[in-house]
Amino acid sequence: MIVYDLSCPKDHRFESWFRNSNVVEKLIKAGQVVCPHCGSTKVQKAPMAPMIGKTSIAKSSDDAAAPQAPQPTGELTAAMEKAAEAFSELRKAIEKNFDNVGGKFAEEARRIHYGESEKRGIYGEATIKETKDLLDEGIEVLPLPRSRRSQAN
């Protein structure tokens, strides 16, 4: 599929998809390409290089004013920023409500699990092996991404 920018005598610009570049002229001559804004079939290729996979298939006049969808990369960035924000919020909540046990996380999690320590929410550092061992023992731990700023305490 290939998309072309087209224009009609009233200077409406629109895009249309074609199977390949060879059929464009044929379809225009046959009156198969219609301006979605005024219905004119006297359309011509707008002076612009054809682009593949630019936006969507030629729209009806109804949604011609619909807002342009953001570029996929922008969407992805926004999603990642949102996720980072959510993680940051989660982290803040944990740092506020949970006890920081630092490097003794695995030890303390185990003590809480076996009733040797006060039952409470804790957070701290644990190696992958420690985390795996805890999970193997049925101790619930939730790995958190490291925050960008390093914790001084």
In this structure, what are the phi and psi dihedrals at residue 124, rounded to the nearest 5 degrees?
175, -160
Q: What is the rounded CA–CA span in Å between residue 122 and residue 128?
A: 17
Q: Residues 46, 6: contact at Cβ < 8 Å? A: yes
Q: Is 37 in the site for Zn ion (CB under 5 A)?
A: yes
CB of 89 to Zn ion, least distance (A): 49
Q: Which lies closer to Zn ion via its Cβ, residue 8 or residue 106?
A: 8
Among the listed ranges 10-18, 53-61, 81-89, 133-141, the one in contact with Zn ion (CB under 5 A) is 10-18
Q: Is 109 in the site for Zn ion (CB under 5 A)?
A: no
Q: Kindly give, in sequence order, each residue whose CB lies less than 8 Å from that of residue 24, ignoring residues fewer than 6 positions away.
A: 4, 18, 33, 45
Q: Which lies closer to Zn ion via its Cβ, residue 13 or residue 54?
A: 13
Q: Which residues bind Zn ion (CB under 5 A)?
A: 8, 10, 12, 35, 37-38, 40
